[in-house]
Structure 1
Amino acid sequence: MNNERNKLIPELRFPDFMNEGNWEEKKLGDFGRFFRGLTYSADDTSSKGLLVLRSGNIQNDTLVLDKDLVYVDKECADELKLLNGDIVICMSNGSKALVGKNAEYKDEYDGKITVGAFCSIMRPINKFTKYLLQSDAYQSFIALSIGGGNINNLKNSDLEEFKCYTSSSPKEQQKIADCLSFLDELITAHTDKLETLKTYKKGLMQNLFPQVGEKVPKLRFKEFEKEGDWEYLNGNELFDTISNKNHNSDLQILAITQEQGAIPRNLINYNVIVTEKSLESYKVVEKGDFIISLRSFQGGIEYSNFKGICSPAYIILRKKNENSENEFYKHYFKTDFYIRNLNRNLEGLRDGKMVSYSQFSEILLPNPNPKEQQKIANFLSSLDSLITEQADKIEQLKLHKKGLMQGLFPKVKA
């Protein structure tokens, strides 16, 4: 053991523990017991029964219990039934990025619940333990464990042997756990607020635009209450399809995403190699254009805040009518009823097949007074700003927690 390992002292330490001395090296197995998940077959699945969590239920360090759920008509050993404070760990997955991901079970489910065979349960001895599984040392260990070849699998014994570093003082461990738990609660509270804002916006959108078959929205700004019915036009009366390939391949390449619309690839680490020859066929996208993507029948039509180029596989739409506002349609194309309407017009469309311009054109689009369009767009965009601001707060809190953890745990060189 070299001198670096002999100095197991974190950069940040609570005043009460300044004189506690070095931290000590232990194995993760000293901090709890591990149980591999339940094996079941397709014949065991049911509409009710024992809930089995899988790797897909571990998202952003939390357990998702409202979608992608599997129930089995099968019993499991008592030790495999999740208890409050247990840690669910992804042990095997087609994607290496997911192996080792984990989340605490907080007794959120009122019923019998376990994990599938591609996951394990760690039953920790204290709250401090879960932060060992969030540390940089743990991330490095996972990367090394699955780094070679096509091995995307961990065994319980692998995790039990993980060398971690901890204070010998249970009180210091508890102090660290309390500090980080407070931050976790703050992040959760802000995340709940973010979801509330998103739900609020979604509800407003359902009322600020007419439902299918209606000519006026349920909610209308006072100054437009006497404007009468909204006008409806076919998609091709409002938007042209654009296929401009007049560029020198010097424009930024745009990725088309459901969450962020059209966005420069370098902003989302979208690393796909494109040859110079291929770039020649790419289409120019102007700021304010819309893009029909392969996933438009799932998530609507995307909007671009950037000028750039995109794959010729995409269909680019540009407004042709001066009496229409881009921002208005940016929101309208993301409403549930527009997406449902799009799907009704595309009966027989299968995943992987592009929505055509002619199919888009067949759908009637609302075209109210431009001032009313602008009012609705401004209102919804102001909500978007609040949502973005709230999401930024969450990211800042997560960065603060990450930095704090780097200080509260010793840095150890191999």
Structure 2
Amino acid sequence: MSPKRPILAFNDEIHKPVKVSDAVASISSGTSVNSEDTPISDDSKLGVLKTSCVSGGCFIPSENKTILKSEYSRVKHSVEAGEVIVSRMNTPLLVGEVGYVASSYGNLFLPDRLWALKAQQNFSARWLTYYLTTPKIKFRLKELATGTSGSMKNISQPSFLGIQLHAPSPQEQQKIADFLTSVDTKISQLTEKHRLLKEYKQGVMQQIFSQQIRFKDEDGKAFPDWKTEAIGKYLEPYKELVPASTDLPILTSSRTGLYLQERSVINDGDYGVVPLGYFTYRHMSDDLIFKFNVNRNYTRGAISKEYPVFKTVGMDTYFLETKLNEGHEFKRFAIQQKQGGTRTRLYFKNLKELKLALPCLAEQQKIAQFLQSLDSKIDAVAEQIEQTKQFKKGLLQQMFV
């Protein structure tokens, strides 16, 4: 390899070709120990790191398992500040993941599937971590991973140390690492903001549903008291069927939303139809969890004919969606539907019998508007996170050659 200069840099110096072995002073590995599949509860206990403790250059210390006391004498290497953790054995997708350790953890130890690298004095460990997360190097790491099992791959130490890099001076390495660290800090701050907003919304929802928080009408007057009643009179079923050859988008109702399904899915019978603004849900569950989804993206979508489809009449759609998915009343109701066996069925005729504490329509709409305003803030922060991650991805591609 000849010397090169990256597209984006802090000075005009050439980045010289080196191997990982030139940048690494030592590699330590751990040992396999017996453990409980729960993280350590306090610093008096010892933990062994899981391979999931590294991702995208980040080290996640909470990803550990509690080591049995009888195994304490067998542990080898606790993680230290300034090390780079490498997942040398993992699934084909995750093998080669790395993470930089910012603080020492004397009670967290390496398993045999992780390495801990210490950088040479003239190399920045953080810079090396970022380099190892670039698309080019990640692809190379996966190329080098071997193994007869399709579910588990391994990178040999000689192969890893032989990977070729282009390195600038130690000063330039530090500038690059500092800049990318500032981007990571921004991502962390936004992620925490996103978590707090979701937590706040969750708390406010429960206060609203328990009527600790009440809204007033446009004149500042209190709305009428809430009434507990069966929701059936507010639900209108929709039972249109279309053939399997339909041109409508094929949708699936999952716990994370209503999604477009691959056309390759074979269906010998008819599909149901869920129009824009209508509800649908999977009517069977293995764990008593049901998710009610509203079609907000398609004028009409095809759905499994087994899934109930309905709309609200005289009730705010968003309010009901939130009450069903987040309220305690439905969770108790779902338990009552279990008739034995491993699966619970929730037919539409039974859903209609669910009794909920309901405010008047005007207050429902006020509640929905307030919660949707929180959704907008949460979505805006999520978009900022994604944009910042894409910005970082672009930097990695430009800063390293």
Bin of the TM-score, shorter chain as denominator length? 0.7 to 0.9
Deviation at 1:7, TM superposition (A): 4.6
**CA-CA distance at 1:177 after TM superposition:** 0.5
Residue 54, structure 1, aligned to residue 50, structure 2: yes
**Secondary structure at 1:40's aligned position in 2?**
coil
Aligned to 1:40: 33
Matched residue, 2:208: 208
Partners of 2:330 and 2:64 in 1: how far apart? Answer: 25
Amino acid in structure 1 at the alignment position of 2:273:
V
| Match of residue 272, structure 2, among 279, 283, 299 | 283
Q: Is the 8 A contact 2:88 2:115 kept in 1?
A: yes
Aligned in 2, Cα 1:118/1:242: closer, same or farther, shift over 3 Å?
farther
Aligned length: 385
1:198 paired residue number:
198
Match of 1:301 among 292, 298, 310: 292
**2-structure distance, mates of 1:199, 1:43:** 29
- Measure how far apart 1:284 and its partner are: 1.4
Structure 2 match to 1:154: 154
**Structure 1 residue ranges, 4+ long, deviating more than 6 angstroms after superposition:** 43-47, 348-352
Give the drift of 1:197: 0.8
Q: Per the alignment, in what secondary structure is the counterpart of residue 242 of structure 2? A: coil
What is the alpha-carbon distance in structure 1 between the residues aligned to residue 246 and residue 264 of structure 2?
Answer: 14
- Is 1:337 matched with 2:328? yes
5 Å-filtered alignment, 1:103-142, equals: 103-107=99-103, 112-125=107-120, 126-142=125-141
SS at match of 2:93: helix
**Structure 1 pair 170–60 and aligned structure 2 pair: CA distance change class (3 A):** closer
**Against the structure 1 CA distance between its residues 97 and 43, is the aligned structure 2 distance closer, same or farther, given a 3 Å change threshold?**
closer
Partner Cα separation in structure 1 for residue 352 and residue 308 of structure 2: 13
- Residues 297 and 339, structure 1, Cα contact 8 Å, conserved in 2: no
The match for 1:318 is: 310
The residue identity in structure 2 corresponding to 1:239 is L
1:333 is displaced (CA, Å) by 2.5
Percent of aligned positions that are identical: 23
Matched, 1:372 2:363: yes
Partner of 1:23: 16
Structure 1 residues 246, 158: closer, same or farther in 2, change over 3 A? farther
Q: Could you say if the C-alpha distance between residues 251 and 225 of structure 1 is closer, same or farther in structure 2, counting changes exceeding 3 Å?
A: same
Please list, as runs of the form range in 1=range in 2, the aligned pairs for 1:169-248 lying within 5 A after superposition. Answer: 169-210=169-210, 217-223=211-217, 226-246=222-242, 248=245
- 1: CA distance between counterparts of 2:340 and 2:54? 31
Q: CA deviation at 1:353?
A: 5.3
Letter in 2 for 1:404: L
Q: 1:279/1:289 Cα in 2 relative to 1: closer, same or farther (>3 Å)? A: farther
- What is the CA distance between 1:368 and its match in structure 2? 1.9
Cα displacement (A) at 1:292: 2.0
Select 2:281's aligned residue among 267, 282, 292.
292
Unaligned runs of 5+ in 2: none
Task: Report the residue type matching 1:196 in the other structure.
Answer: L
Partner of 1:390: 381
**1:39 deviation in Å?**
1.4
* 2:311 partner amino acid: K
What is the DSSP-based 3-state SS (H/G/I as helix, E as strand, rest coil) of the residue aligned with 2:241? Answer: coil
CA shift in 2, pair 1:64/1:162, >3 Å: same
Q: 1:133 is matched by which residue type in structure 2? A: L
Decide whether the 8 Å contact of 2:127 with 2:173 is kept in 1: yes
1:251 to 242, 248, 251: 248
Distance across 2 between alignment mates of 1:398 and 1:47: 31
Asked whether the 8 Å contact 1:245–1:284 carries over to 2, the reply is yes
More strand by share: 2
Task: Describe the shift of the 1:240–1:118 C-alpha distance in structure 2 as closer, same or farther (beyond 3 A).
Answer: farther
Amino acid at match of 1:140: F
In the alignment, the residues of structure 2 paired with residue 163 and residue 113 of structure 1 have an alpha-carbon distance, to the nearest angstrom, of: 28
The question of whether the paired residues in 2 share the 8 Å contact of 1:34 and 1:122 is answered with: yes
CA distance in 2 between partners of 1:356 and 1:404 (Å):
52
Per the alignment, do residues 344 and 400 of structure 1 end up closer, same or farther by CA in structure 2, a change over 3 Å counting? same
Please give the per-residue CA displacement for 1:107-155, whole angstroms capped at 9, x wherever unaligned. 397x611244444434445221110221122221133234886442224
Letter in 1 for 2:241: K
Could you tell me how far apart the structure 2 residues matched to 1:370 and 1:142 are? 58
Matched with 1:102 is 98
Indicate the SS of the match to 1:96. Answer: coil
C-alpha displacement of 1:285: 1.5
- How does the TM-score come out when normalised to structure 1? 0.80
Structure 2 CA distance for aligned equivalents of residues 383 and 147 of structure 1? 48
> Counterparts of 2:311 and 2:303 in 1: how far apart (Å)?
20
**Counterpart secondary structure, 2:319:** helix
Q: Note the C-alpha offset of 1:251.
A: 1.3
- SS state of the match for residue 8, structure 1? coil
- Structure 2: how far apart are the matches of 1:338 and 1:252? 33
Distance 1:120 1:392, change over 3 A: same
Q: Tell me, in whole angstroms, the C-alpha distance in 2 between the residues paired with 1:336 and 1:70.
A: 33
- What's the counterpart of residue 81 of structure 1? 78
Residue 264 of structure 1 is aligned with which of 260, 263, 287?
Answer: 260
AA of the residue aligned to 1:31: V
What is the alpha-carbon distance in structure 1 between the residues aligned to residue 161 and residue 24 of structure 2? Answer: 11
1:327 aligned partner:
318
C-alpha displacement of 1:235: 4.3
| Structure 1: 5+ residue stretches without partners | 211-216, 266-270
SS of residue matched to 1:318: strand
